[in-house]
Amino acid sequence: MNSNTSKPFDCVAETYSRFDINIVRGQGARLWDDKGRQYIDFTSGIAVCSLGHCNPKVVEAVREQAGQLFHISNLYWTEPQLKVASTLVEHSCTDRVFFCNSGAEAVEAAIKLARRHGHATRGPDCYEIITLEGSFHGRTLATITATGQPVYQRGFEPLPPGFTHVPLNDTRALELAANRRRTAAILVEPIQGEGGVRPLSDAFLEATRAVADDLGAVLIFDEIQVGMGRTGTLFAYEQTPVEPDVICLAKALANGMPIGAMLAKEEIMKYLGPGSHASTFGGNPVACAAAGAVLDQFLQTDILQQVKQKGEYLKKRLVELTQDWREVREVRGRGLIQAIEFHSPKPDLASWLLEKGFLSIVSHGLILRLLPPFIIGREEIDQFIETLAEYKHGQDS
């Protein structure tokens, strides 16, 4: 017997820098570790558990579906999958849905669809994808290449060809990168999430739509982190002046059950015919049952309006806290994705907040990214602000 079997923490690949706590239970906006200590979650499992941990209606839907049908091949229809697909189409600008298991898979599907479309409409040289510096699109070889951050690409060369990166909100650079013969798609996040909660300007988004239309290219919105209610509308594009051709979803779609989805307009999706792409577990009945319960709550309650109200309140409190904090460069965000960017790294901030009982994310050492569940209360926001004020005073002293 391998001696490591007696040391379970040594059996997991070290692909994450983990905090030294073992979470055993969650309820609403709170989590508990194996020592009984309680935490308020301002991460939502990185924008996943938007309705809170162990949301009762999602739990009930999963339990009921698991007792009826756990898995069946996509050679057959299932009711949970059909319900989610029809709901997403009914409430978006798209016509069809491809199901998979994660955000990276959804982006991979979109890249394949864009190339298929480009080859069919403009020839085999039409395969390039324009993406943005600072973007994040996943961890597969294609999606780290699409990602505009070299830190995720180092050591994995040679990277797949066919991706061009332009600066955020630089319309002229976008126009110069576009190529009538080669550009198959433009791939953007309406708000860059992992890249630092950086919104794309309306003018730049309008330019992506205009360039794509001029070329006959596909406009893809990666809404994996900022879709599904995070900005206060079901889709993030609804708060922009443009409609994309393709939308990539995952994370909050099933509140923690693994699922991804690539939505597209019919005139684009028709280029992925039978046998062109697949996913064994995509649209799994249990995952889709969870997603159905999530969508019901998004669409049949006032939760999205609450996201806007709570997001405005969180941003107001953050601005008040930081207005005389000289180390702060900017507060930015929309809905319940908010961030503080500092002038210099704060490598201890996430650990300090954890000791105080709050889960948070610090990106690149410089950006405190806040992604609380939609059911977060104002009193919990106030507790977080008061705790962050302690940190501020410690830095100032």
Which amino acids are annotated catalytic?
136, 222, 251
Q: Cα–Cα distance between 293 and 65 in angstroms, integer?
A: 11
Token duo for residue 55: 């949301």
* Helix 285-300 with 79-90: angle, nearest 10 deg: 40
Expressed in angstroms, the distance from the first to the final Cα of the chain is 54
Indicate if the alpha-carbon torsion angle 387, 393, 395, 397 is positive or negative.
Answer: negative
Q: How many CA atoms lie within 13 A of 105 on its CB side?
A: 18
Contacts of residue 39, defined as CB under 8 A and 6 or more positions apart, other chains included, come to: 23, 30, 31, 32, 33, 354, 357, 358, 359
CB 1 within 8 A of CB 8: no
Closest CA to 178 of 124, 233, 215: 215
Which helix (H) or strand (E) is 176 found in, with range? helix 171-177
Closest CA to 298 of 58, 28, 113: 58
Token duo for residue 221: 């919105």
